[in-house]
Amino acid sequence: MNLYSSNARWKWFVLAASVFISIGSIYYTNILVNQLKEQEKQQIQLYAKTLEFTVNQNDASSENINFITQEILFQNNSIPIIITDEREKVIDYRNLKLKDQWPAVQKERYLINEIEVMKGTYEPIRISLKDNGEEFAVQYVYYKNSFLLAQLIAYPYIQLSVIAIFAFISYLAFNYSKEAEQNRLWVGLAKETAHQLGTPLSSLMAWVEVMREDPDLKNRNIAEELEKDIRKLTIVTERFSSIGSVPVLKQENVVTLINNVVNYLRPRLSSKVRIDVYTLSDNINAYVHAPLFEWVLENLCKNAVDAMSSSGNIAIKILRGSEGKVLIDISDTGKGIPRSKIAMVFNPGFTTKKRGWGLGLTLAKRIIEIYHKGKIFVKSSEENQGTTFRIILNASLGYSQPDNKA
Ligand SMILES: Nc1ncnc2c1ncn2[C@@H]1O[C@H](COP(=O)(O)OP(=O)(O)O)[C@@H](O)[C@H]1O
Ligand SMILES: [Mg+2]
């Protein structure tokens, strides 16, 4: 099914496009920031020069020059600056968020703090005060980025985070509603199937009883065989009805359960397929719902047989894992799964078989991960060598059971 591969390609495309747009927008704002920074720096330098010039002007006659310098000095109304003497005593400041009604102590603390911030941003500009060409004092102009510039620097990051958070939330909401819809479909279909099978099954059972009591029935075997098939059908119905409700887990010996499934399957497989169970102990307990767990095993074994074109070995290993886990490895010597397909085998509808439905592994995953709170995954797979699926079950319950605990 290329539905999944094109879906995956789309995801990569969207991801690549968003990374590209993010980098692009950060890059572009960076250019703007640098231009504005350069402009502000020049403005401050001009300001400092003007200041120096005005202070050092001896001849106060030139009205015009005074006018121009005043214009430049008051033109700066966005860049925060502090002017100090050589011992960092504040002489003047401009464009700071300092309120006139603040108490002197607070003002002083604020200014000291601001000077530290400004020192960390730009080197202060030195102004030398001269008398007859001889320096008699020094002043410093400290400055930092204007509020506009500071905002512009932070802007793309804020914008991108807001977009990312929004995208993430919508993705979750979308996935959640998709999953809820799928769940309803599964559950509804399973319940409906079980329900529909139930009526003819109970009537079949009654017919078998009628048959048994018929003294004219010549072949007694027919009733026996019919009953066996009815029993199998009952199990199938039970599976469908349990997947449609919340199954209650019981502590069971998984070695026995697995041997039962294997003994059921063995006579039904081709004689060229070997199936063996390996375990160090005959008694390994885990919390399972037996009918559903058997269904999973049957599905995995059938897939293994399909992968081997009806000759090869299936090995089931049961191990006690650490931290109350039970590990079950199902290995085959079949054709393996190509590396690029491993991530897809659990997707509904994924199949490589002519007559496949691609639901076996989806069902297995649902049963193990949702109903058993366990894990199922492809542990390893080599092309033309074989595949190993691993199931992890819980030997103890780390969560509370839904009602009537067995
Ligand atoms: N043991 C295995 N070895 C190789 N491929 C496997 C094995 N188990 C599953 N697959 C691959 O995963 C696909 C999906 O399996 P499944 O969900 O059971 O659906 P179906 O059996 O109907 O195809 C199979 O078509 C096959 O390509
Ligand atoms: Mg299958």
List the residue whose alpha carbon is closest to atom 24 of ligand 1: 351
Structure-block tokens of residue 278: 């390996």
Beta strands in 321-373 (DSSP E): 325-332
Query: Ligand 1: distance of its center to the CA of 352 in Å?
Result: 7
The SS3 of residue 322 is coil
pLDDT score at 2: 53
Instruction: Output DSSP code: residue 344.
Output: G
Q: How many helices (H) and strands (E) does the chain have?
A: 8, 11
The letter for the amino acid at 377 is F
Which sequence spans correspond to the domains of the chain? 22-145, 151-232, 248-394
List the residue whose alpha carbon is closest to atom 20 of ligand 1: 358
CATH topology of domain 248-394: Heat Shock Protein 90 (3.30.565)
Distances 32 to 151, 152, 201, 212, 362 between C-alpha atoms, Å: 12, 8, 77, 93, 52
Decide if 259 contacts 284 (C-beta within 8 A): no
List the residue whose alpha carbon is closest to atom 8 of ligand 1: 303
pLDDT < 50 regions, the chain: 1, 403-406
Residue in this structure with the two tokens 């496949």, named with its chain if needed: 356
pLDDT score at 1: 46
Residue in this structure with the two tokens 């070695």, named with its chain if needed: 255
pLDDT score at 64: 67
pLDDT score at 332: 96
pLDDT score at 338: 94
Cα separation, 274 vs 285, whole angstroms: 25
Q: Which atom of ligand 1 is nearest to the CA of 336?
A: 4
Cα separation, 262 vs 301, whole angstroms: 9
Minimum-distance ligand to the CA of 302?
2
Residue in this structure with the two tokens 């095993």, named with its chain if needed: 297
Query: Ligand 2: distance of its center to the CA of 380 in Å?
Result: 18
- Among 275, 298, 341, 351, the mutation site with the greatest number of ligand 1 atoms within 8 A of its Cβ is 351
Q: Which H, E and C letters describe 22-76, residue by residue?
A: HHHHHHHHHHHHHHHHHHHHHHHHHHHHHHHHHHCCCCCCCHHHHHHHHHHHHHC
The letter for the amino acid at 175 is N
pLDDT score at 404: 43
- Among 297, 301, 303, 363, the mutation site with the greatest number of ligand 1 atoms within 8 A of its Cβ is 303
Q: Which atom of ligand 1 is nearest to the CA of 363?
A: 17
